[in-house]
Amino acid sequence: MENKNIITGTNPVMKGDFPDPDVIRVGDTYYMCSTTMYYMPGGAMLRSYDLINWEFCSHIYETLEDTPRENLDGESHAYGNGMWAPCLRYHNGKFYVFFVANDTGKTYCFSADKPEGPWTKSYVEGFYHDCSVLFDDDGRVYIIYGNRKIYLTELKPDLSGPKEGGVNKLIISDPEGPFLGYEGAHLYKINGKYYAFFIHTSPEKWIRIEAAFMADDIRGPWVGKDVISYYLEDTTGVAQGGIVDTPEGKWYGVIFGDRGAVGRIPNVVPMHFDETGFPVFDTPTKEIQTESTRPGYIYDSLFKSDDFNYIPDASGKIKLDEVWEFNHNPKPDYWTAGGGKFTLTTEKIAKNVEFARNTLTQRAKYPETACHVTIDGSKLNDGDFAGMVLLQHRYGTVGIAKENGGFKLVMRARTGEGDRAEEDVEYASIPLSEPTATVRVTGKFSLNSSEAEFYYLDGSEWKKLGVALHPTFDLRHFVGCRVGLFAYSTLVTGGSASFSRFVYE
């Protein structure tokens, strides 16, 4: 008889930049938390009933800290920093997320009674790179962390910091060398044995490798080896992420692979434990099958159009759809959404789109992305520019600029190519008879070759504007490309632009 609970999908399962995933199951529901770095709200929490299809559940915080870098004040920024490599846990009826932020130098613990929140922020004394926490069944709590050298520290029961007189030792190390040493820790206790999983790379070539270690005692000795070293199609290898069991007792790894400029995207890989208890992963494959705990469930999309018909809550606050994240801390007084429009008002001078406040973004989609939006620039000031951006260090923009009292359609970019590779360059402009336009961004993404193009609507025809962009995954941003809506001033603040009918095609 056909099993109607079987779900078939393809790796990568999520098609968007959800790096460093950690995954748990509570009852019939799988939850994932992923790195969001400097984007706000942060700490994307997702849910699934089959590990292949996912939808947003919540974000664990609106903003992380009130600092010049996270606020994008002046030319301060948190690019390449912010919330990094979360550890997601469920213990005694409560959800926990632990992570560090490199720009603040702090270790965070967020907790909630349910994954939808509200979440409460606290701090763990110390800084624990790529940490993973284990609530042991004897009531003790441990955190492992580090790069190349992996340390184990026992925490106080209240999680506020190291336990005085508790375990604090080096447990695992990778040899020194010009390659990525063990990091991205994930720590578990399963059937009485302790397991630690890490990512590292080969000394001979760049390939992401998943390593696993096992111990009978958490203090060691730890014995391990590489368990995945495989170039899944269009990746540099598949590694780093969590493992999770199904209600039927099957095990899977949810681990990411690099996909170039579009980012790092989770894949699902079946696994089991051999007769000694050591974890064994199947060879990663493009097609993947799992079993749904809620057959027929209809998932919300991770990539969505928006008509901006929002209604404020009782306190007057507007809650945007979870697919949207601002680039750095937003300034709520300078954006509004409702009545079919998303409106940005400028309140700082910015030299380019990287420093534009309140840029509203969604993840680009693998392997192809296409989005368009209509812009009303009638309230822009001279020197203002508003439109759509494909954002990474190599970025491209298309939109409306006001200059000497007139309006023009403009394509600007930092292409990373040619004599002015690192500059923001205007590559094309067309005079506008009225301050409105519909613009479009498209992208085709693969590991080694990505291309984006920029368009405007002329009657019923899309026409290209400016140059093609070839974005990369640049560590100066450290996230995949985002499609965003922006407005910024170069001369005087206070101008505004409205966006309507955002379509994720």
> pLDDT tens-digit profile of 295-331?
999 999 999 999 999 999 999 999 999 999 999 999 9
Q: Confidence class of residue 221 from pLDDT cuts 50, 70 and 90?
A: very high
Per-residue DSSP letters for 415-447?
Answer: -S-STTTTS-EEEEEEEESSSEEEEEEEEE--S
Q: Catalytic site residues?
A: 20, 183
Alpha-carbon gap, residue 166 to 28, rounded angstroms: 36
Q: Is 266:327 a contact under the CB 8 Å cutoff? A: no
pLDDT digits (tens, 9 = 90+) for 449-469: 999 999 999 999 999 999 999
Per-residue DSSP letters for 94-134?
Answer: EEEEEEEETTTTEEEEEEESSTTS--EEEEESS--TT-EEE
Q: Confidence class of residue 4 from pLDDT cuts 50, 70 and 90?
A: confident
Let me know if 448 is exposed, middle or buried by CB neighbors in 10 A (0-12, 13-18, 19+): exposed
Nearest by Cα to 292 from 5, 2, 3:
5
- Determine the pLDDT at residue 46: 98
Q: Which two tokens stand for residue 256?
A: 């990411």
Percent of the chain scoring above 90 in pLDDT = 98
Alpha-carbon gap, residue 35 to 97, rounded angstroms: 11
Q: Is 64:344 a contact under the CB 8 Å cutoff? A: no
Q: Is 132:87 a contact under the CB 8 Å cutoff? A: yes
Rounded alpha-carbon distances, angstroms, from residue 236 to 18, 256, 285, 326, 433: 16, 10, 14, 29, 48
Rounded alpha-carbon distances, angstroms, from residue 130 to 22, 198, 222, 241: 11, 10, 19, 11
Residue 29 pLDDT exceeds 60: yes
Residue 1 pLDDT exceeds 90: no
Q: Confidence class of residue 2 from pLDDT cuts 50, 70 and 90?
A: low
Let me know if 357 is exposed, middle or buried by CB neighbors in 10 A (0-12, 13-18, 19+): buried
Q: Confidence class of residue 103 from pLDDT cuts 50, 70 and 90?
A: very high
Q: Is 375:498 a contact under the CB 8 Å cutoff? A: yes
What's the average model confidence in pLDDT over 149-159?
A: 98
Amino acid at 220: G
Residue 3 pLDDT exceeds 80: no
How far is Cα of residue 423 from the mean position of the Cα atoms in its chain?
26
pLDDT digits (tens, 9 = 90+) for 50-83: 999 999 999 999 999 999 999 999 999 999 999 9
Percent of the chain scoring above 70 in pLDDT = 100
Nearest by Cα to 268 from 247, 248, 289, 298:
289
